[in-house]
Structure 1
Amino acid sequence: MGEEIAISLKNISKCYKRYARPVDRLKEILLPSKSYAQEFWALRDINIEVPKGETLGIIGQNGSGKSTLLQIIAGTLTPTTGEVFVNGRISALLELGSGFNPEFTGRQNVFFNGQILGLNKEQIEAKFDDIAAFADIGDFIDQPVKTYSSGMFVRLAFAVAVNVEPDILIVDEALAVGDIKFQFNCFLKFKEFQEKGITILFVSHDSNSIKRYCNYAVIMNNGRIIYQNKPNEVVNYYTNLLFANETVKTNEELTTKEERNLNPPTSLTVGGNLEYRYGDARGEISKFSIENSEGVCTQTFISCEKIKVQLEIITKEFIEFPVFAMTLKDSRGEDIYVTNTYTQNLDVPNLPANSLVKVSFEQSINVCPGDYFISLGFVSLSQGNITPIDRRYDAVQIKVLSLNNDHSSGIVNLQSKIHFEIQ
C-alpha cells in the first residue's frame, strides 16, 4: 500500500446476529450445527481509499452504518469480511462516553485516554496544560466525569483527541453538543490540522459543515456507500434522498444516459454550469433569468447592486400549498442566503393544472467579490410535508465584481465607511 494513502478499505462487511429469544443464543452454543440467529448486515461491500491530508465527509440517515464504519476504521470493531489498512496513529471521537471512565476525574481520564491513544505519561504531562485550556472546563477537570454535562464531556474528549498528535482524526457528530465558542475553536483546529496534512473523517448532519470543511464526501444508506463526489454534489443528492420519493441510485446508476437525460434526479450542464435537478414533475421551472440594476440579463454584477431573479413556472397538475424559493450559495456550495414565499409569510393560493406563474425575487447582492451560485425551487408544503416539484440546484453561476475598487474580503459586503482624523 502506498505511503500516500491514509486509509484503505477493501470489501468491508459487518454482520451481527439477532436472536428472537435469549434462549436461542444458548441453544446455538450447545448445538453449533444449527443456527438460531437472524443475520443483520450493518455494512456491505465497502470499498474506499482516503489519501493522506484529505478531509472526508460522511453523511447518511440514522442507521445507515456510519458509526459502524468509523469503529472498524478506529479498530474498536472487527469486520466480518474484508481488509482494513490504516497508515498512522488514529485519534477518534466517536460515541459520547466512549474511552472515558465515568468514575474517574477529568484529569485521570486525560491520562487514561492518552495512554490508550499511544502516549506515555511524560508526553501526556507535557500536553496536559494545552488539553485543559482547550477544554476550558475550569475546576471540573478534577471532578468525576459522571457529574459533567454532555457539553463539558465532549469538550474534554475533543481536547484530548486533537492534542495527541494524530495522523488521522475521526469525529462522529460530537461537535453538535458543544456551545458556539467551542464549535468555533474546533473548526479552527480542523483548519490547523488540514494545513498540517492530517487526515480527517468527519460525520455530520450539518450539510454546510460538510461543504465548508471537506474535500470529498460519501453518502451511506443501508450499510452501503451509494454515492461519492465533491461535497456540494453529494449534499445535493442527499437532499433529494431525504425529501423526494425516489429510488436510491448509486454513482454508477447516475451516470447512465437515461438517468442524465430523462428522469430526476439528474445532473446536467446548463450554460456551462453543473445543475442538479429533481422533483416529482407535477410542474416545472420552465424559464429563469437574472437582471442587473439596469434591467439587463447578465451573470456578472457589481457588489451591492440590486438584482432581479425571474422565474416562469408551469403546472401540469393541481398543486396544493405551493412555495417558490431561491438560494444564494458561495463557490463551495455553502448557503449564504435562503428565502421563499413561506418564510416571508406570503399567501400563495393553490394552483390549478396548466397554470403559468411568474415569480420574481428582488434583492441587493450584498456580497464581496467572487463566484456564486443561485438555486431555485418549486415545492408543495402540504400537511407539514415538503414535496419537491422542481428543484434546480446551482442553476446558474454568477460573478460579483468589486464596488468602487473596494477589495474588502469575506462573504457579505457591509459597505463600511471608514473615517479617520490625524491631529
Structure 2
Amino acid sequence: MSSDPIISIKKISKKFPIFTHPLHALIYRISGGLAGKGKTFAALTDISLDIQRGETFGIIGHNGSGKSTLLQLICNIRRPTSGTIQTNGRVGALLELGAGFHPELTGRENVFILGAIYGFNQQQMQEKFDEINRFADIGDFIDQPIKRYSSGMYVRLAFAAAVCIEPDILVIDEALAVGDIRFQKKCFQFIQERKKTGLTVILVSHDLEQIRLLCDRVLLLSHGRIDYVGPPQTAIRTYRNKVSCSLKEISTEATRLSASWLKNIKISDTSGNQRTEFSTGENIQIKATLVPQKKLEHCNFSLQLRTVEGAKVYSWGTFNQDMGIWANKVTASTTWDRCFPAQNPVTINFDLKGLLGPGKYEVQVIVSQEEVRGFGAQEILFWIEEAAFFTVSPRGEHYHFGGICDLQASAFVTAS
C-alpha cells in the first residue's frame, strides 16, 4: 500500500436547501441559488481524511448519516458547499441501483456508452466486452433493454462494467447487497486480487461482518460528522455501542415489546452455577425464558453468538434439531409440531460444548415461525440483540489454540 493518498479530503461540508413551497425551489434554480433559499440541511460537516492507494476503506453509520452524500462528492456527482476533495486516479462507481444506465438501451449499448464516458474508443471497448459479458454472466439478456433486468442482473452488469474499465478507485454503495451469494463471493475475490495491484476500494455497507472482513480502515459517520476513523473492529464496536445506547434511550413500543418477550436469560456452567466468565474447554449452558405475545405454531427458538466486533460465530435453534430428527427418520417429538399459547412462559435450555476460543461473546435470542419443513418460509417474530454477554479466557498452559473455535485437531508426524 502506497504512503501517498489517492484521495485527500480537506474540511468539506455539504448543505442542501430546504424548500417550504415548490415555487421557492423554482426561484432558487432559476436564480442559480441566489434567491429563494430558506433553511438548509447540513448533510456533511467539516470532514477531513486521507485514503491511501491500495486501501479498502469502509464507511458505516445510521441511515441519513451522510454516507451516500460523501460518496457522491468523491465521485464528483455533487460539489461540496465548502472544502476540497482531490482524487488522483480514475473512479469507477456503483451507487444507487439504476444509476448510470439508460433503461431503454440494451446492456451491450450501455456498456459501450459507459466506456466512451471513461475515454475508451470503440475498438478498446470491443476488446473488453467479452470479459465484461463473461463476468456479468447474464446470458442473452446482454442484448435486452436494461428495464427488463432484475435487480441482481443489473448489479452484475454494473459491477462487471465498472471494474473492467480499470479504475484506480472503485466506489460501492450497498450495490452488492442485491446480488446473490455466489456473485458476491466472485466480486470480493476480484477485489482482493486487484488490491494487490493497487486498486483502492471505498465500500458503504450495513453488513458489518462484510466490512470487518474486507476493510483495512473504517469511517463511522454520525449526523454528518466523523465519529471515528480506524481499525474495523474498533469502528464496528463503537457503532454497535452507539446503536445500543440509542435503542435504550427510545422507550417506545419496540423496547416494550422486547422486554415483554424475554422474561430472563441465565448463563451457567454444567453444575448450574450462574457465571459470565469461563475457561476454554468448559461447557456452557444458556437458559432463556420467553413470554410469547401471540400463539406460536411451527416455531423455532434459536440463539446466535457473535463476537463483540459483530462477527457471527454460531447460530442454532430448535428447528435445526427438528430437521435432524426428520432427516434421520427418528420417532421423536419435535418443537415444530408443538403449539405454545400466548402469555404462557416457555423456557429453552441450550447446551454448548466448550469449543469457543478466548474472547467476549454476545448472545442474541430469536423466535421465528417456519411455515414449511425447511428455511424457505421464515418469519421473524422476535429478535433481541445483546441479550447477554460472556467471556472465555485461556486455560493455563495446557489448552492453547488460535482462533474463535476449537476444531479439536490432531496431528501425526512421519519422517522418511
Whether TM exceeds 0.5 here: the answer is yes
The reply to whether residue 405 of structure 1 matches residue 406 of structure 2 is no
How many Å separate the matches in 1 of 2:180 and 2:248? 38
Residue in 2 aligned with 1:157?
158
How many Å separate the matches in 1 of 2:106 and 2:393? 53
How many Å separate the matches in 1 of 2:234 and 2:85? 27
How many Å separate the matches in 1 of 2:360 and 2:412? 24
Counterpart residue type for residue 375 of structure 1: Y
Partners of 1:42 and 1:65 within 8 A in 2:
yes
Partners of 2:304 and 2:312 within 8 A in 1:
no
What is the RMSD computed on CA atoms of the aligned residues? Answer: 4.3
Q: How far did 1:100 drift?
A: 1.0
Q: What secondary structure sits across from 2:97 in the alignment?
A: coil
Q: What secondary structure sits across from 1:78 in the alignment?
A: coil
Counterpart residue type for residue 376 of structure 1: E
Instruction: String of CA shifts for 1:238-275, please: whole Å, max 9, x gaps.
Output: 22333433799xxxxxxxxxxxxxxxxxxxxxxxxxxx
Counterpart residue type for residue 113 of structure 1: L
Partners of 2:89 and 2:169 within 8 A in 1:
yes
Residue in 1 aligned with 2:361?
375
Check 1:387–1:178 CA distance in 2 against 1; reply closer, same or farther (3 A cut).
Answer: closer
Check 1:388–1:112 CA distance in 2 against 1; reply closer, same or farther (3 A cut).
Answer: closer
Moved more, 397-406 or 173-182: 397-406
Q: How far did 1:320 drift?
A: 8.2
Q: What secondary structure sits across from 1:196 in the alignment?
A: coil
Q: How far did 1:191 drift?
A: 1.4
Q: What secondary structure sits across from 2:353 in the alignment?
A: strand
Q: How far did 1:57 drift?
A: 1.2
Partners of 1:243 and 1:387 within 8 A in 2:
no
Q: What secondary structure sits across from 2:195 in the alignment?
A: helix
Check 1:140–1:30 CA distance in 2 against 1; reply closer, same or farther (3 A cut).
Answer: closer
The alignment-based identity, stated in percent, is 39
How many Å separate the matches in 1 of 2:204 and 2:32? 41
Check 1:361–1:49 CA distance in 2 against 1; reply closer, same or farther (3 A cut).
Answer: farther
How many Å separate the matches in 2 of 1:70 and 1:334? 26
Residues 173-184 of structure 1 correspond to what in structure 2 (within 5 A)?
173-184=174-185
Residue in 2 aligned with 1:262?
none
Specify every segment of 5 or more residues in structure 2 that has no aligned partner in the other structure, as ranges: 250-258, 272-276, 293-300, 322-334, 368-380, 395-400
Residues 107-146 of structure 1 correspond to what in structure 2 (within 5 A)?
107-146=108-147
Residue in 1 aligned with 2:239?
238
Check 1:62–1:290 CA distance in 2 against 1; reply closer, same or farther (3 A cut).
Answer: farther
Residue in 1 aligned with 2:6?
6
Partners of 2:303 and 2:366 within 8 A in 1:
no
Specify every segment of 5 or more residues in structure 1 that has no aligned partner in the other structure, as ranges: 249-279, 292-296, 302-306, 314-318, 351-358, 408-423
Check 1:64–1:247 CA distance in 2 against 1; reply closer, same or farther (3 A cut).
Answer: farther
Partners of 1:243 and 1:386 within 8 A in 2:
no
Q: How far did 1:33 drift?
A: 7.4
Q: What secondary structure sits across from 1:84 in the alignment?
A: strand
Counterpart residue type for residue 20 of structure 2: A
Partners of 1:285 and 1:378 within 8 A in 2:
no
Q: What secondary structure sits across from 1:125 in the alignment?
A: helix
Counterpart residue type for residue 172 of structure 1: D
Partners of 1:171 and 1:203 within 8 A in 2:
yes
Residue in 2 aligned with 1:335?
312
Higher helix share: 2
Partners of 1:18 and 1:38 within 8 A in 2:
yes
How many Å separate the matches in 2 of 1:42 and 1:336? 36
Counterpart residue type for residue 337 of structure 1: Y
Q: How far did 1:4 drift?
A: 1.7
How many Å separate the matches in 1 of 2:78 and 2:101? 17
How many Å separate the matches in 2 of 1:223 and 1:193? 31
Residues 2-401 of structure 1 correspond to what in structure 2 (within 5 A)?
4-27=4-27, 35-245=36-246, 299=279, 307-309=282-284, 327=305, 329=307, 334-338=311-315, 361-363=351-353, 365=355, 373-377=359-363, 392=389, 395-396=391-392, 399=401, 400=406
How many Å separate the matches in 1 of 2:215 and 2:307? 16
Residue in 2 aligned with 1:256?
none
Counterpart residue type for residue 147 of structure 1: R
Q: How far did 1:195 drift?
A: 2.5
Partners of 1:380 and 1:387 within 8 A in 2:
yes
Q: What secondary structure sits across from 2:242 in the alignment?
A: helix
Q: How far did 1:173 drift?
A: 0.6
Counterpart residue type for residue 362 of structure 1: L
Q: What secondary structure sits across from 2:283 in the alignment?
A: strand
Counterpart residue type for residue 7 of structure 2: I
- TM-score where L is the length of structure 2: 0.69
How many Å separate the matches in 2 of 1:372 and 1:124? 52
How many Å separate the matches in 2 of 1:178 and 1:389? 29
The count of corresponding residues between Structure 1 and Structure 2 is: 349
How many Å separate the matches in 2 of 1:175 and 1:328? 23
Q: How far did 1:95 drift?
A: 1.2
Q: How far did 1:85 drift?
A: 1.3
How many Å separate the matches in 1 of 2:62 and 2:33? 36
Q: What secondary structure sits across from 2:43 in the alignment?
A: strand
Instruction: String of CA shifts for 1:88-109, please: whole Å, max 9, x gaps.
Output: 1111111111111112111111
Q: What secondary structure sits across from 1:166 in the alignment?
A: coil
How many Å separate the matches in 2 of 1:158 and 1:177? 12
